[in-house]
Amino acid sequence: MTTQQKVAMLYALLLLGAAALNYLPGLTDDQGRVFGIFALDIFDDLLHLASALWAFFAALIGGRAARQFLLIFGGLYLADGLLGLATGSGFLDLGIFNYGVLDQPFKFKVLASGPHILLGGFALSMGLRRW
């Protein structure tokens, strides 16, 4: 198994964890916000689940498929996180289309968009590496 396949498998596990956040007791507050920061809806959960399955099958298929997953996923998630940081809304959950630019405190934008920036940036950097 190549390093990129291992990273894709790690992403499958991380994304499954993200999809499960709403369903683990004690992680959401009384307003349904995970860690008191952001609310995830069923669409977010399905997006994370679909991404996890994509990562899992890419890792199983081979090094080339894993690399393509890391490049495409990384680019999309990084762009979504940067848009969220700039506007308070991302595009993967259709937030920018449904809610437009949101007037959120910068700290909130960093906390809400940070996971996509970090996950996307790392995936993209791993996909760009030639092993």
pLDDT in tens, 3-33: 999 999 999 999 999 888 777 666 667 766 7
For residue 112, the surrounding DSSP H or E stretch is: helix 106-128
pTM: 0.87
Residue 45, domain extent: 3-128
What's the pLDDT band for 34 if we cut at 50, 70, 90?
A: low
Given this model, what pLDDT does residue 27 score? 65
The Cα 38–Cα 40 span in angstroms is 7
Q: Mean pLDDT score of the chain, rounded to an integer? A: 90
Q: Count the domains in the chain.
A: 1
